[in-house]
Structure 1
């Protein structure tokens, strides 16, 4: 076994990183009117430059900008799609952790015009990242098309605009296809579609919630997979695309549970991506048996290292779990990463930047021992 030269890499990570205190302070100053946009951007630039260097020092082959310019992993993108409007409605997602429960509250969305892509989203952010990497592969993370629907369901779609929901799905796929083509034109060779919906739907409680909203919860994942495939159908051959699935990541808390069994056959056998980043850091994710549906040629990045706590995993335990997974998918198709981002929202998880990079170095060290 050798290191991979194309994404996803043997040692990889999902994307978001803890925001430096200096960046958080600058954002607070901008919100209070003490900094203008240019001054905030200058701080962002300096922080991105530093975190790219830190990813290289950790031994990673790819680098993201840590999503430092975003408030959340998905809504900063979704609100830039044409036809999507932010609303005053407050949507709540219930999260859980060892200490109890907490709620994530965010503005809702409304689709009141046809879905379009007015401009390439995150173009400036990716171009800056691209200019900072030195020998690393720059990786762009965006929410999958599924998240545009899953956030509010069909109730968020103005039926006078889309009396036929098939047209909505076609427009959504077309907008994403334009984004994919545009970032490839920028030189992006590593694109990740982040998707909580395809993991949440493994949870019977989530399927019940979707059914209560009037959705076909038993087949919703199949619609999402078809839409993603349509968005990726014409991607250039030089662009590698992965997807990341998790069950919620907010301030070291989670929102859903359940093994991948419910979506596994349709997802692994039918989604046209090059690799799957899968959450596997605790018992909520179930066993490795669903990996038997992964076909040859697809990579599985095992998210065995948790981002939800600072406790450092044991290398031998990680190697044992990789060996267990290799009973269902060949070792050469496996890689290793943390189970999610370290800061899916600006608040971040409950660990320090030093503990974060210790986790990333652990991923690299373990991958070297397993794959060479």
Structure 2
């Protein structure tokens, strides 16, 4: 079986409208919705064509995989005079910038735009990057108010899936993890705010599952080099405490959803960077297994983590869980050979069993409009190689 992590490269026409909206050109909502509906049909058909068994809608309606919920959550007020700059990677990865200053500076100057379609206005792109992500403040208790947008997404996906015979389908959803500012008058602690977000996002998760789809949550556990609650060099214990609190909140949000309809995605950050400060899987694998999910979507093609299939020789995968390791990378335009994909699949099958492996990708190919990781042509070649490699592994494992 084959799948991926969710986001796919957005068509230029969708990107153009997203960018126009960011720079202040009024969005024709009816035209945008019609465009997204057509493009979702096309991208689902293309996934069927290349051999993906469990597709997504590509997240085409969303400007990114996480901050789209700003428009869906009541209680968040956008600070129009303050924006969070989308700039060099060093602001998010200070330890990595310290270790590789020249690389991070050069990479930071181009990684946001290097694979955006050539027909898009570079001037508008530059303006949109300056607008960046708005800072938000919690002004009242958090509620979920995105039912209309969510229904539109689910209906588009259903229409796109109808002509095809997929094994299943999934919809990624933002996790209840945000760094908004709030006063004691609204929430007395970070934990209280986290659980309020969990209660609100539970509405979206349940609607996705009730519509017949798998829901996928992402918990990108912090790397040692990232900023964590103001700490530029958090200890492993800092990381563990923060992550454990989030795991508990995620389970709270998933409390009314059958475990076998939940996918959990873990990555070490999707950047095409050295990854020398990534926390090894062995240091938190027992903790993530506490998440109430059946499918664990993990990086397996990233050369910093490819060897970690061997972790499962020593760590028993619970009987009710399935691994979905990345067999192709979203970080490089090198297209993996199907024989390599087959070999990687067989490595995992050798330690957890052939029935408990689904072939996936390391992360999304374009987690946001500024996060396109490869050229669109390469994306489809990689997904075709994934399907071809899975076919080879099936023959090898079943005969």
Q: Do they superpose with TM above 0.5?
A: yes
1:106-117 residue pairs with structure 2 within 5 A? 106-117=133-144
1:216/1:161 CA distance change after superposition, 3 Å: farther
Partner of 1:189: 213
Q: 1:310 to 1:168 in 2, by over 3 A?
A: same
Q: 2:372 aligns with which of 327, 349, 352?
A: 349
Deviation at 1:78, TM superposition (A): 4.3
**CA 1:293/1:212 → structure 2, altered by over 3 Å: closer, same or farther?**
farther
Contact 1:277 1:301 in 2 (8 A): yes
SS in 1 for 2:140: strand
2:154 counterpart of 1:131: no
SS in 1 for 2:193: helix
Change (3 A) 1:209 1:261: farther
1:119-141 C-alpha deviation (Å, 9 max, x unpaired): 43522112111111132333211
Whether contact under 8 Å (2:139, 2:182) holds in the other structure is yes
Kindly provide the CA deviation profile for residues 293-352 of structure 1, in whole angstroms up to 9, marking residues without a partner as x.
431121111113111222111222233333333454233211211211111111343533
SS of residue in 1 equivalent to 2:207: helix
Unmatched segments (≥5 aa) in structure 2: 86-90, 113-131
Residues 24 and 218 of structure 1: CA distance in aligned 2, closer, same or farther (over 3 Å): closer
Tell me, yes or no, if the aligned pair for 2:298 and 2:324 is still in contact at 8 Å. Answer: yes
Write the mapping of 1:124-273 to structure 2, written as runs, cut at 5 A: 124-133=152-161, 134=163, 135-136=165-166, 137-145=168-176, 147-148=177-178, 151=179, 156-185=181-210, 187-196=211-220, 198=221, 200=222, 203-206=223-226, 211=231, 216-236=238-258, 240-249=261-270, 252=272, 257-268=278-289, 270-273=290-293
**Conserved 8 A contact 2:3-2:359:** yes
3-state SS of the aligned residue for 1:64? coil
In structure 2, relative to structure 1, the CA distance for the partners of 1:165 and 1:43 (3 Å cut) is closer
- Is 1:51 the counterpart of 2:79? The answer is no
Stretch of structure 1 that moved more, 33-42 or 134-143: 33-42
> 8 Å contact 2:324–2:358 — kept in the other structure?
yes
Partner in structure 2 of residue 66 of structure 1: 58
Determine whether 1:307 maps to 2:330: yes
Per-residue deviation, residues 17-64 of structure 1 (Å, max 9, x unmatched): 111223233445555648622222222222121111111111112222
Separation (CA, whole Å) in 2 of partners of 1:289 and 1:209: 32
Task: Specify the alignment match of 2:150 in structure 1.
Answer: 122
Name the TM-score, length of structure 2 as normaliser.
Answer: 0.77
Task: Render the CA deviation track for 1:71-97: whole Å, top value 9, x for unaligned.
Answer: 111000244222233332426534889
Answering whether residue 45 of structure 2 is matched by residue 24 of structure 1, we say no
Q: What is the distance in 2 between the residues matched to 1:232 and 1:342?
A: 26
Q: C-alpha separation between the residues in 1 aligned to 2:67 and 2:227?
A: 22
CA distance in 2, matches of 1:246, 1:15: 13
TM-score normalised by L of structure 1? 0.83
Consecutive unaligned residues in structure 1, runs of 5 or more: 1-9
1:359 Cα shift? 0.8
1:3 matched to which residue of 2?
A: none
Do the aligned residues in 2 keep the contact of 1:211 with 1:217 (CA within 8 Å)? no
CA contact (8 A) 2:227 2:233 kept: no
Q: How many residues in Structure 1 have an aligned counterpart in Structure 2? A: 349
1:216 positional shift: 4.4
Separation (CA, whole Å) in 2 of partners of 1:321 and 1:23: 35
d(CA) in 1 for partners of 2:274, 2:268: 6
Aligned pair in 2 of structure 1 residues 75, 276: CA closer, same or farther (>3 Å)?
Answer: same
The answer to whether the aligner puts 1:93 opposite 2:92 as a matched pair is yes
Name 2:75's counterpart in structure 1.
83
Q: Secondary structure at the match of 2:358?
A: strand
Task: Considering fraction of residues, name the structure with more strand.
Answer: 1
Shift of 1:277: 0.8
- The secondary structure found in structure 2 opposite 1:71 is coil
Conservation of the 8 A alpha-carbon contact between 2:343 and 2:393: no
